[in-house]
Structure 1
Amino acid sequence: MFRCVRLWTGSNHQSCFEEGWIDLPKGERHDLLSDVIETTSISFRETSEGGSFSWHDAPNRQFVLTLSGTLTFETRTGDSFTLYPGDILLAEDTTGGGHRWHLIDNQPWRRVYAIVPQDIDLPFISASSKC
């Protein structure tokens, strides 16, 4: 199971988040497998250790797959969560107050961005919400 945290803009125009996972309903050879997800682009990025990014919205609806680095995200309401290597962020807070993040370990944040269309359903399953 892949841990996934979803960020979105709530009715108060501030970023909210919920923790959950990516649905893996299929399988073969004892593997679990999601449905195919349409993407419009994929890119790779690395931020040096100690990096941070102040308040911003997600530029697109996107999955952000963390390969290395541990970082804390914060919303303007003061709520926060931590991402670890192997976690997935589903960033959908493209408007509103936004979020910020900073690295909390001595590793660079290596990540993959996969931009997804607005009109498709994604295999995110919510476990808990903070809004």
Structure 2
Amino acid sequence: MIRAYLLYTGADGHSHFKRGRISEGALVQADHTLFKETAANSSFDWHNDPIPQYVITLTGILEFSTKTGETFIIEPGDILLATDHTGSGHKWRLLNDQPWKRIYVIYKENEDTHFIADEDQ
């Protein structure tokens, strides 16, 4: 199972998250792929994600927070499904002394992301 977190804008206009996974073997049509590295000990204050994308963490451990006080931890191998394009947004900070190396996979609008939420969510 590949652990994933869906970050989305709720009906209340705030960012929220659900823990789950991506269906194994799922094919998703992608538009672009971007590779990025951010220095260790970095953080990024309140923002929204600009486009529908998977963010696949290769190195670094991050804490994400929403304005409603929700938090979750992303570790190497986890996937963030970023869909909170509007609303109050989220912020993140690196928790360890590693850089955040990641791959962005930008998928087509309205594409099935194959995200399956955990039953306890």
Runs ≥4 in structure 1, deviation > 2 angstroms?
Answer: none
Separation in 2 of the partners of 1:99 and 1:2? 23
Q: 1:61-83, CA deviations, whole angstroms, 9 ceiling, x for partnerless residues? A: 10000000000000000110000
1:37 corresponds to 2:28: yes
Separation in 1 of the partners of 2:9 and 2:109? 14
Please list, as runs of the form range in 1=range in 2, the aligned pairs for 1:58-97 lying within 5 A after superposition. Answer: 58-97=49-88
Please list, as runs of the form range in 1=range in 2, the aligned pairs for 1:1-131 lying within 5 A after superposition. Answer: 1-24=1-24, 34-127=25-118, 128-129=120-121
Partner AA of 1:113 in structure 2: Y
Separation in 2 of the partners of 1:58 and 1:85? 20
Separation in 2 of the partners of 1:50 and 1:78? 21
Separation in 2 of the partners of 1:118 and 1:54? 26
Count of residues in Structure 1 that have an aligned counterpart in Structure 2: 120
TM-score (norm 1): 0.89
- How far 1:36 moved relative to its partner? 1.6
Separation in 1 of the partners of 2:16 and 2:80? 13
Gaps of 5+ in 1: 25-33
TM-score (norm 2): 0.96
Larger radius of gyration: 1
